A and B are shown apart, each in its own frame.
Chain A
Amino acid sequence: MTTSSSNSALRELISFQIGAQEFCVDIMSVREIRGWTPATPLPRTPVFVRGVINLRGAVLPIVDLGSRLGLQMTEPTERHVIIVTRIEEQLVGLLVDAVCDIITVRDDQIQSTPDVASDLVQQFVKGILSMEGRMISLIYLERVLPDREAEAA
């Protein structure tokens, strides 16, 4: 990350599964990974915000990433996983099906997002990379939380 200006800089990503698709985020923004615990729903929030949980005394909002990306709503079980990430000074838990792997890639291995129709894809997928025949989409973390302005309006 420190040498991100260079095209060949190595970066580590954590990949995870939602449904049949594979996604990844930068490992530097991940604080911890924990099992699913029931969340307390928040009133008047978008459907993809599952609520808040107690993370060792802190109140952690949980985003259902599948629902956020326009896939199906997750029916969480004990086997589902919360990836605790730091997004712009704020901790957010991402609800995903399972964590797969830690992968090391060079920046130039990341291909730009193909021009598909879906707005959601354009909004949340920063780029894609190919790994041993799997396609992994790199998530645009900063855009995962609901927009403050849009929320206020």
Chain B
Amino acid sequence: MDPLEAIKVTFFQECEEQLSELESGLLAMEQGETDSETVNAVFRAVHSIKGGAGAFSLEPLVRFAHVFETTLDDVRAGKLAPDNNVVKVMLRAADVLADHVRAARDGGVVEEARSQELASALEALNGEAPLAPIASEDFDDMPGLEFTPLTVSDDDGIGDDFGFTPLAAGIIELEPEGPALRRWTVHLRPKNALYAKANETGLLLRELKRLGDIQVSIDPADLPGLAELEPEHAYLSWTIVLTTDRSQSDIQEVFEFVDGDCDLTITADDVPSSLPAMGEASIDEPFDVMALIQQAQADVQAAPAAAIMAEILAPAAPAPVFAASAPSIPVPVAATAAAAGVAPDAAHGAAAQQATIRVDLDRVDRLIDLVGELVINQAMLAQRVTESGVPRSSNIAMGLDDLEHLTREIQDSVMAIRAQPVKSVFQRMPRLVREVAAMTGKQVRLVTEGEGTEVDKTVIERLTDPITHMIRNAIDHGLERPEVRVAAGKGPEGTVRLSAAHRSGRIVIEVSDDGKGIDRPRVRQIAIDKGLIEVDSNLSDEDVDNLIFMPGFSTASSVSDISGRGVGMDVVKRSIQGLGGRIAITSRPGQGSTFTLSLPLTLAVLDGMVVSVCDHTLVAPLTAIIESLQPKAQDVRAIGPDAYVIAIRDTYTPLIDVGAVLGYRTTPLDPTKGVALLVEGEGGARAALMVDAIQGQRQVVIKSLEANYRQVEGIAAATILGDGRVALILDVDNVVAARRREKARSDAKLAAAG
């Protein structure tokens, strides 16, 4: 990867972080936390994205971020109160900003209308036109000249990408000045060094504009003829007349980072004065580079002057250098010192928050593999020592015990590295809620809890889809329209609660709404209509609720855009079960429903039941097993030529001989001599798996068989047991289905006893 691409990748990674920062900041503001720290954090996020995007010339992103930033700046300056409406617009703007980032990354295009609509909404909040037109627009009508946004542009780029600007407000608070307006004349003559350090006059002027009204005039008198023109020299000087209530130190502060790199005089000008007649190109803000260039063109009388001018105005330098040299003119030193002192502190504070490092996932996975090997090795060693007859009180045995503790601790710590808070999944949900709410015309409030709950990365990745689906369902089917809610005596705004917590070694995620709850008579009727249940079947409330997990069940009368994309809750249930989890629903009419799903904390280990089949050791996932029993001869019945069922509490369940299905034996097992595991497979179908014996329960480390060999039918994965042997993990669904598929040609004939 070429270096620029690598930097770009990092930039987009950081964008993701900034976006999540932005979103959580805005949500905090929605909750009323509008202190300057939160607002600044939000501002900083947008600002950083804009700055980086500018460096990569990501035009649409820069343009949108700029509008957004301008609005945020007003909030920061206290000009705009961050009430609910404002924050709502900003949240939507954050969504669009995220789209822009993704479009820039993946090469897509953001819907122009949507982006434009939000941009206008933001500008409307400003109550005024954007401070400065976007650079690219300035130059659009200039033929034959290509500008990148970070060069001549007067309003953005990499120069101001350090988040120092927020401090201006803080310092003003420290030094209250009389509110009286005063007029200042600022003479600015940059030296070559100023441009060499990637500072820009345009940015300085923009900073000055923040302080008050400015009138800017440029003095091109020193500009030589084109022949003598040295492209990297500074020839221009500016005179700025500033009307402000700020103090001289505030003005001085604007030039803090160019101290020593320019000749600067700031003089108080109490007598109202007209514009100094320094040059003819006297212009008002917005700083009109076009006019300037035309002026220069006229002066120099040479055709390609514009291009050269562009170079003079913007010497492209990679990074700004903040060399705080001694002030060249007498200014209140305290102010400079205070500014210099505060700024690094603030920068530090932001940096200290993220004491993290980026590590390639492969390295972590490798470490986890190695630790897995260590654990197995330790177990083998312990077994050998026990077998050798060393007494338990011996030093060797005690040393081994210590080793075991250490290895367990290492394993836990390593797994913790890969553990991530569910925040990354939860964070995508507010946006989803806004979109679904807008589509359904419902008012929804999302409350999240337990975002810090950690689960293994492998689980996190597969949580998004089920949660997304359940939240869509909760809004689409659970919550009522505002008028219906009001009629039912509830507030117009519905609440969807998303929470995560650790409970007995599993993660439990709940999605609950305060809507109407499950309409049981209707669910029942639909199930009857679709032939899922008998008309006269006697079902408890709980049974009815669980009908929505049946394949082919969908309560939406029309397939709506939101929930009914051909998948129902049965798909959710399946994918949860695929992760070794379970899902349940509770519902109270008129008060809402709660979906509870519980998942293992990691997919790298599995709770299994170790069983033997024909001298082979197999592991059955514990989550699939409902119960185990020893069949009695009179419970096993032949049905058809070669199929058998077992009666479990008067329900006949197909009996499957695992040894026969896997081809370990040709003579079927006598059911009375084995153990039956009652399992629930795909779609809730139950079956009884016959095995020879149960050895015990154990947590096992999952090793992919597919990666090491290839997929084997009936086997989900492999694991390594304490004795160092490889054991295979049963794919329960597949075994059940395989039996069904091969029913016709199966030669497995159970000895029907009795």
Same complex:
yes
What are the residues of chain B within 8 A of A45 when measuring CB–CB? 712
Identify B712's interface contact among A39, A44, A58, CB under 8 A.
A44
Task: Confirm or deny: B726 has a beta carbon within 8 angstroms of a beta carbon on chain A.
Answer: yes
Beyond known contacts A57-B369, A59-B718: 6 more, CB 8 A cutoff: A39-B726, A40-B727, A43-B663, A43-B712, A59-B705, A90-B709
A91 lies within 8 A of B616 (CB): no
Would you call the interface of chain B mostly helix, strand, loop, or mixed? Answer: mixed
What are the residues of chain B within 8 A of A151 when measuring CB–CB? 710
Q: Chain A's nearest CB lies how many Å from the CB of B116? A: 49
> What's the A-B contact tally at a CB cutoff of 8 Å?
72
Task: Confirm or deny: B279 has a beta carbon within 8 angstroms of a beta carbon on chain A.
Answer: no
Question: In the complex where A41-B616, A42-B715, A52-B705 touch, is A59 in contact with B726 (Cβ < 8 A)?
Answer: yes
What are the residues of chain B within 8 A of A39 when measuring CB–CB? 726
A54 lies within 8 A of B376 (CB): yes
A residues apposed to B, CB below 8 Å = 38-45, 49, 51-54, 56-61, 90-91, 148, 151
CA distance A42 to B717 in the complex (A): 11
What are the residues of chain A within 8 A of B663 when measuring CB–CB? 43-44
- Taking residues whose C-beta sits less than 8 angstroms from the other chain, chain B's interface range is 20 to 34
- Per-position binary interface string of chain B over residues 717-740, scored 1 when its CB falls under 8 Å from any chain A CB and 0 otherwise: 010100011111000000000000
Q: Chain B's nearest CB lies how many Å from the CB of A60? A: 7
What are the residues of chain A within 8 A of B17 when measuring CB–CB? none
What are the residues of chain B within 8 A of A40 when measuring CB–CB? 616-617, 718, 725-728
CA distance A51 to B705 in the complex (A): 11
Question: In the complex where A52-B705, A59-B708, A90-B708 touch, is A44 in contact with B376 (Cβ < 8 A)?
Answer: no
Task: Confirm or deny: B714 has a beta carbon within 8 angstroms of a beta carbon on chain A.
Answer: yes
What are the residues of chain A within 8 A of B708 when measuring CB–CB? 52, 58-61, 90-91
Q: Chain B's nearest CB lies how many Å from the CB of A41? A: 7
B662 lies within 8 A of A57 (CB): no
Task: Confirm or deny: B664 has a beta carbon within 8 angstroms of a beta carbon on chain A.
Answer: yes
What are the residues of chain B within 8 A of A61 when measuring CB–CB? 708-709
Q: Chain B's nearest CB lies how many Å from the CB of A19? A: 26
B616 lies within 8 A of A57 (CB): no
CA distance A41 to B728 in the complex (A): 9
B710 lies within 8 A of A54 (CB): no
Q: Which residue of A lies closest to B701 (CB)?
A: A57
Task: Confirm or deny: B33 has a beta carbon within 8 angstroms of a beta carbon on chain A.
Answer: no
CA distance A56 to B720 in the complex (A): 10
CA distance A41 to B618 in the complex (A): 11
Q: Which residue of B lies closest to A146 (CB)?
A: B710
CA distance A40 to B728 in the complex (A): 8
Question: In the complex where A38-B725, A40-B727, A43-B663 touch, is A57 in contact with B372 (Cβ < 8 A)?
Answer: yes
What are the residues of chain A within 8 A of B402 when measuring CB–CB? none
Question: In the complex where A38-B725, A54-B725 touch, is A43 in contact with B720 (Cβ < 8 A)?
Answer: no
> Could you pull out 10 A-B pairs where Cβ atoms are within 8 angstroms?
A40-B718, A41-B616, A41-B664, A43-B715, A52-B705, A54-B720, A57-B376, A58-B703, A59-B726, A91-B708
CA distance A40 to B617 in the complex (A): 9
CA distance A39 to B705 in the complex (A): 14
Task: Confirm or deny: B412 has a beta carbon within 8 angstroms of a beta carbon on chain A.
Answer: no
Identify A52's interface contact among B369, B376, B718, B724, CB under 8 A.
B718
Identify A148's interface contact among B376, B617, B703, B710, CB under 8 A.
B710
| B residues 87-139 in Cβ contact with A at 8 Å | none
Question: In the complex where A41-B616, A42-B728, A52-B726 touch, is A59 in contact with B373 (Cβ < 8 A)?
Answer: no
- Per-position binary interface string of chain B over residues 369-385, scored 1 when its CB falls under 8 Å from any chain A CB and 0 otherwise: 11011001100000000
Q: Chain A's nearest CB lies how many Å from the CB of B733? A: 16
Q: Which residue of B lies closest to A62 (CB)?
A: B709
What are the residues of chain A within 8 A of B728 when measuring CB–CB? 40, 42-43
CA distance A70 to B332 in the complex (A): 95
Residue in B370, B710, B718 with the greatest tally of chain A CB atoms within 10 Å: B710
CA distance A56 to B617 in the complex (A): 19
Q: Which residue of A lies closest to B718 (CB)?
A: A59
CA distance A60 to B703 in the complex (A): 11
Q: Chain B's nearest CB lies how many Å from the CB of A24? A: 24
CA distance A25 to B407 in the complex (A): 39
Q: Chain B's nearest CB lies how many Å from the CB of A52? A: 5
Question: In the complex where A57-B373, A59-B709, A61-B709 touch, is A44 in contact with B662 (Cβ < 8 A)?
Answer: yes
